[in-house]
Amino acid sequence: MKYIVIGAVAGGMTAAMKIRRNDDKAEIIVYDKDTDTSYSGCSLAYYISGVIDNRKSIVPRDSQYFKKFNVDVKTAHEVLKVDVQNKKVIVRDLGTGNIFEDSFDKLIIATGAHPVIPQIDGTHLEGIFVLRNVKDADRIKEFINTYFPKKALIVGGGYIGLEMAEALKVLGMDVCIVEKQENILPNLDSDMARLVESYLEQKGVMIKKSTSVLRFEGDKRVKRAILSDGSKMDIDFVLLAVGVRPSTQFLEGSGIQLLPNGAIKVDEHMRTNIEGIFAAGDCAAVYFKLNGKTMYVPLGSTANKMGRIAGENATGGSMKFSGILATSIFKVFDLTVAQTGYTEKMAQQDGIEYEVGHITKPHITTAYPGAENMTIKAIAELSSRKIIGAQIVGTKGVDKRIDVLATAIFAGLTTDDLFQLDLAYAPPFSSAKDPVHYVGMVMSNFLDKRKFNCTQEKLLEKMQKGEDFVVLDVRTPDQYKVKHIKGAVNIPLEMLQNKMNLLPKDKQIIVYCNSGVSSNIAQNILQQNGFRKVYNLSGGISNVTLEQLLERSTSNSSPSSP
């Protein structure tokens, strides 16, 4: 049996090695138009910054490595066409220019994706780059080491853009991110994205949202960017990071079914619509586990799973792909950002009735040195009580919690189950009630309507509609003076029992503190004393990122009283 694999990175080489493990006598040929194989694309920003100083660390295996497994990897060979009727591929040797045919019994397509180049005048100028493979990183490093740029513009506020913002700052550049959407990180909910924006601005990264680049200017190298907000920026380095598209142009007219974005349509076995032809990795579509809908989410972890399944089934297996939750994580400076499952926007598009909550807790016991807070946004379905989505922003311990929550969502656990999870505890690693436990407790309270929750977006909506309600700040007067919600009255928690008679029982009361702990206690006190419409501001004022809600007091101002 002869197998041809197109693509020699995550999906392709995983498939090739799975074929070899299953079939010792198989003839396996891998074609790739690049010269690097099995590289770590997710490490490129750290290679550029110098955190990873050895190129071999991100390209640990070259084509020669696979010869000992009798896998023939032909780099610098581009597949131009797939002839499905005759089971042949047309290949160009990029070294010699020769074009030849090769036949196959089974074919696996794992050609990955390529960066989108936006239609902007001047993108041909030197100093403007994309970042997808190791050669891109080499070119960026060479340019930086030759011309020592000082002012960098990153077009696109996704994961790559933010990782490179850190890398370029580490290398001594002033960095500006231009994002045409209303927020950076469009795959996150806006409230969580704004937490990241605030952090980046503290780190000296300029962010321009709802803005696009009209054109780049310069003689030979880029010198200036003209933006849609009318501003001009002097720059000497540009990274275009506006997304990727599946590298499947060579399949047009082949009969292999493609989605409108060019992704190869595959079933749960990684089979295309053509018998004997499979696809895996960033060139192929996947489906979202929670609704079964096809989606395009190019991730290295997913590509490895798909490659294994494709290799198994190409050799006669019947392994099924269970779908994805779009779980992802990245770091920028000391901040970690992670997500899994539904966002609010996705849940709304699917017509799901849900409850949302924000929980801010330390990653370890506060008595142990080094405890740092993380903010978890959780989404639970009302009807099933299942946890269906989570997003986390914090400095430490985020990876552990997002993986637990992803596992819980994958397994269909409810918010009640989260509290019951038997998680490891010791002061250096967690708290007796882990942040995941708090997610379960808080969300169960919301679902049971024992507690009422109000997000900052709902609060702003109430204000804009002119609804009659009271906002109650239960922090200290000094904390109130620094920053508070507009129109909030201040009754410190320890004084609430004696002063609650000043609050109207016939109105909604929205209570808040810094993170939600003291306001939860205040909510209990008020509910147990006849107040029936008491809402807790989700996550507290520390997570309020809508400036329309905030008022920052002068040093001599006095807190408002009821």
The rounded distance, in Å, linking the Cα atoms of 249 and 231 is 37
Q: Is the residue at 561 inside a domain? A: no
In this structure, the answer to whether residues 296 and 344 fall within a common structural domain is no
560 — pLDDT class (breaks 50, 70, 90): low
Answer for the pair 20, 125: CB distance below 8 angstroms, yes or no: no
Q: Is the residue at 119 inside a domain? A: no
Cα 482 to Cα 39, 194, 490, 550, distances in angstroms: 49, 20, 13, 10
Which residues in 470-509 are b (16+ Cβ under 10 Å) and which e? bbbbbbbeebbbeebbeebbbbbbeebeeebeebeeeebb
* Order of all β-strands in the sheet with 335-341: 328-332, 335-341, 387-394, 373-381, 354-362
Using the 8-state DSSP alphabet, how is residue 494 labeled? Answer: G
- What average pLDDT score do residues 538-548 get? 91
- Residues 226/231/237/243 CA torsion (nearest 10 deg): -70
In this structure, the answer to whether residues 418 and 358 fall within a common structural domain is yes
Token output for 192 = 């969580």
Active site residues: 42
319 — pLDDT class (breaks 50, 70, 90): very high
HEC letters along 107-133: EEECCCEEECCCCCECCCCECEECCCC
φ, ψ of residue 391 in degrees (nearest 5): -135, 140
CA 155 to chain centre: 17
Q: Is the residue at 307 inside a domain? A: yes
Q: At 170, which amino acid appears?
A: V
In this structure, the answer to whether residues 273 and 199 fall within a common structural domain is no
- What average pLDDT score do residues 186-206 get? 96
In this structure, the answer to whether residues 17 and 92 fall within a common structural domain is yes
**Is pLDDT above 70 for 556?**
no
In this structure, the answer to whether residues 444 and 338 fall within a common structural domain is yes
Which residue in 73, 85, 135, 138 sits closest to 110, CA to CA? Answer: 73
3-state helix, strand, coil in the chain (%, to 5): 30, 30, 40
| CATH code of the domain in which 229 resides | 3.50.50.60
- What average pLDDT score do residues 241-263 get? 96
Number of domains in the chain: 4
In this structure, the answer to whether residues 432 and 356 fall within a common structural domain is yes
In this structure, the answer to whether residues 473 and 443 fall within a common structural domain is no
Q: What is the pLDDT of residues 354-395, one digit of tens each?
A: 999 999 999 999 999 999 999 999 999 999 999 999 999 999
**Is pLDDT above 90 for 548?**
yes
In this structure, the answer to whether residues 362 and 374 fall within a common structural domain is yes
The rounded distance, in Å, linking the Cα atoms of 395 and 397 is 7
Q: Is the residue at 321 inside a domain? A: no
Angle between helical axes of 190-202 and 159-170 (0-180°, round to 10): 10
400 — pLDDT class (breaks 50, 70, 90): very high
Q: Is the residue at 559 inside a domain? A: no
**Is pLDDT above 60 for 552?**
yes
pLDDT value of position 554? 58
pLDDT value of position 559? 61
In this structure, the answer to whether residues 208 and 257 fall within a common structural domain is no
449 — pLDDT class (breaks 50, 70, 90): confident
Q: In the listed set 212, 242, 272, which residue is the last one of a domain according to the structure?
A: 242
**Is pLDDT above 90 for 469?**
yes
321 — pLDDT class (breaks 50, 70, 90): very high
In this structure, the answer to whether residues 32 and 132 fall within a common structural domain is no
Highest mean pLDDT among 25-29, 37-41, 57-61, 555-559: 25-29
Q: Is the residue at 93 inside a domain? A: yes
Q: Containing domain of residue 26, as a range?
A: 2-113+245-315
The number of residues making up the chain comes to: 562
**Is pLDDT above 60 for 281?**
yes
535 — pLDDT class (breaks 50, 70, 90): very high
The rounded distance, in Å, linking the Cα atoms of 379 and 545 is 19
Answer for the pair 539, 519: CB distance below 8 angstroms, yes or no: no
Q: Kindly state the greatest CA–CA separation across the chain.
A: 88
Q: Is the residue at 51 inside a domain? A: yes
Q: What is the pLDDT of residues 135-189, one digit of tens each?
A: 999 999 999 999 999 999 999 999 999 999 999 999 999 999 999 999 999 999 9
Q: In the listed set 180, 215, 242, which residue is the last one of a domain according to the structure?
A: 242
Q: In the listed set 222, 242, 262, which residue is the last one of a domain according to the structure?
A: 242
| CATH code of the domain in which 478 resides | 3.40.250.10
Q: What is the pLDDT of residues 208-247, one digit of tens each?
A: 999 999 999 999 999 999 999 999 999 999 999 999 999 9
Q: Is the residue at 515 inside a domain? A: yes
In this structure, the answer to whether residues 67 and 45 fall within a common structural domain is yes
In this structure, the answer to whether residues 251 and 292 fall within a common structural domain is yes
3-state secondary structure of 524: helix
